[in-house]
């Protein structure tokens, strides 16, 4: 979801042109804090961990994805229709433009790609707001070009709203959400619900959930038996857990955690993107930043970014959690898995 707003937080100009933050005494500038409500969070986030600001100046950063072969993080800037790349060695560079809309309309507010993922063959798969589809980049991730194959464009003859976020299971099924945030205007909507779908390897699109008002972030438990969905509805700001069978069908669902009461001026944001740690804990964007939630639905604490936070993602080995928060790219050190 887009909670875009231009803020000046501390000394960082979020509404300037994208830039890498200058290092101070060999470290990046820091922001925010870690709220620790349960000691279990200390197993995941070290006591001395700080939130580092890596780059800023984006309109609404989203979809962080780690590319192990390049030791790089790529992420989207949805309103500007771009994908950016950040590395420790080479800093910030433009990775892909356009990313989500290939037409010539200039009246689109959120035309770019949103969530990103790699398929089993290492191809980049994108939720493309402007094209209202899930698409695959035809070039390799090492030589990105704005040429795409549509993997899924609609359901039962009707166009999707604007696919938002996605996750693969280990046997190649793709689960994705379809809220209306990227539609310009919303009266172009063809479906009368906001769905959660599964795309199978043969191209079949199956509707799994049609009862959520604003499905957004999506993730799978390590055993792939639970599908997690974040709902970006201010009136029902919740994370849901859906039990899956061995074919990827939903058997049952429940509210994992309701964070509607957490919303305040000091805790910006709603449930948006999420990732599931190898331990089974959820790192889920929401009021205040990134909430750390146990598999049982207990809130252990939050990474407080001082901004509306869109999404997050791990690097290989889960050494860092990278966060896209309004106009910023941030990260925080974790206790590495394994």
**265-279 mean pLDDT:** 97
Burial of 238 (0-12, 13-18, 19+ CB in 10 A): buried
Strands 12-13 and 289-293: unpaired
Question: Is the per-residue pLDDT at 65 higher than 60?
Answer: yes
**212-235 mean pLDDT:** 98
pLDDT of residue 187: 81
DSSP string, 105-170: ----SS-SEEEEEE-TTS-EEEEETTTTEEEEESS-TTS--S-EEEEE-EETTEE-S----EEE-T
**55: which 2 tokens?**
């780059």
- Cβ within 8 Å of residue 328, ≥6 positions away: 12, 14, 31, 53, 54, 55, 56, 58, 61, 305, 307
Question: Is the per-residue pLDDT at 103 higher than 80?
Answer: yes
Share of the chain above pLDDT 90, in %: 88
Question: Where does the pLDDT of residue 337 fall: very low under 50, low under 70, confident under 90, or very high at 90 and above?
Answer: low
pLDDT tens, residue by residue, 134-154: 999 999 999 999 999 999 999
Question: Is the per-residue pLDDT at 2 higher than 60?
Answer: no
Cα–Cα nearest to 61, from 229, 307, 296: 307
DSSP secondary structure code for residue 282 in this structure: E
User: In the chain, what are the domain boundaries?
Assistant: 15-333
Lowest mean pLDDT among 19-28, 81-90, 92-101, 278-287: 19-28
pLDDT of residue 98: 98
Q: Number of helices (H) and strands (E) in the chain: give both, helices first.
A: 0, 33
**10: which 2 tokens?**
């501390």
**267-272 mean pLDDT:** 96
DSSP secondary structure code for residue 159 in this structure: E
pLDDT of residue 8: 31
pLDDT tens, residue by residue, 169-204: 999 999 999 999 999 888 889 999 999 999 999 999
* Structural contact between residues 271 and 284, judged by C-beta atoms closer than 8 angstroms: yes
**275-290 mean pLDDT:** 98
pTM (two decimals): 0.93
Question: Is the per-residue pLDDT at 116 higher than 90?
Answer: yes
Q: 165 by DSSP, 3-state: which?
A: coil
Name beta bridge partners: 74: 65, 85
Question: Is the per-residue pLDDT at 62 higher than 90?
Answer: yes
- Distance, in Å, from the CA atom of 290 to the CA atom of 330, rounded to the nearest integer, reads 11
On average, the pLDDT of the chain sits at 93
Phi, psi (deg, nearest 5) at residue 110: -135, 65
Cα–Cα nearest to 321, from 71, 313, 75, 50: 313
pLDDT of residue 22: 53
pLDDT of residue 10: 32
pLDDT of residue 168: 98
Question: Is the per-residue pLDDT at 1 higher than 70?
Answer: no
Q: Does the 15-333 domain belong in CATH 3.30.160.160?
A: no
Burial of 143 (0-12, 13-18, 19+ CB in 10 A): exposed
- Cβ within 8 Å of residue 192, ≥6 positions away: none
Question: Is the per-residue pLDDT at 236 higher than 50?
Answer: yes
**53-61 mean pLDDT:** 97
Question: Is the per-residue pLDDT at 273 higher than 80?
Answer: yes
pLDDT of residue 6: 34
Cα–Cα nearest to 45, from 209, 279, 226, 296: 279
Q: 328 by DSSP, 3-state: which?
A: strand
Question: Is the per-residue pLDDT at 319 higher than 60?
Answer: yes
pLDDT of residue 274: 98
**295-302 mean pLDDT:** 98
- Number of other residues whose CB lies within 10 A of the CB of residue 85: 18
Name beta bridge partners: 154: 159
Question: Where does the pLDDT of residue 21 fall: very low under 50, low under 70, confident under 90, or very high at 90 and above?
Answer: low
């Amino acid at each position: 979801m887009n909670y875009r707003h231009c803020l000046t937080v501390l000394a960082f100009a979020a509404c300037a042109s994208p830039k890498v933050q200058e290092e101070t005494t060999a470290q990046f500038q820091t922001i925010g804090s870690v709220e620790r409500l349960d000691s279990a969070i200390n197993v995941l986030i070290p006591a001395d961990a700080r939130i580092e600001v890596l780059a800023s100046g984006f309109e609404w950063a989203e979809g962080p994805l780690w590319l192990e072969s390049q030791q790089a993080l790529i992420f989207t800037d949805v309103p500007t229709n771009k994908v950016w790349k950040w590395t420790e060695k080479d800093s910030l560079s433009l990775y892909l433009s356009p990313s989500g809309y290939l037409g010539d309309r200039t009246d689109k507010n959120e035309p770019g790609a949103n969530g990103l993922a790699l398929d089993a063959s290492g191809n980049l798969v994108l939720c493309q707001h402007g094209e209202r589809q899930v698409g695959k980049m035809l070039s390799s991730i090492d030589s990105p070009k704005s040429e795409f194959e549509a993997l899924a464009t609609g359901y039962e003859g009707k166009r999707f709203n604007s696919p938002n976020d996605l996750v693969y299971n280990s046997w190649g099924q793709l689960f994705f959400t379809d809220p209306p945030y990227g539609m310009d205007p919303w009266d172009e909507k063809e479906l009368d619900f906001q769905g959660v779908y599964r795309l199978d390897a043969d191209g079949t699109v199956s509707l799994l959930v049609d009862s959520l008002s604003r499905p957004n972030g999506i993730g799978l438990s390590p055993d792939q038996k639970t599908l997690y969905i974040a709902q970006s509805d201010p009136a029902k700001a919740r994370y849901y857990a859906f039990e899956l069978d061995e074919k990827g069908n939903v058997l049952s669902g429940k509210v994992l955690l309701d964070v509607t009461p957490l919303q305040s001026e000091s805790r910006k944001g709603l449930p948006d993107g999420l990732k599931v740690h190898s331990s089974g804990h959820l790192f889920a964007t929401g009021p205040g930043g990134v909430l750390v939630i146990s598999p049982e639905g207990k809130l252990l604490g939050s990474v407080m970014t001082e901004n509306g936070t869109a999404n997050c993602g791990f690097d290989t080995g889960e050494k860092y959690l990278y966060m896209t928060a309004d106009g910023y790219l941030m990260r925080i050190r974790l206790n590495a898995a394994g």
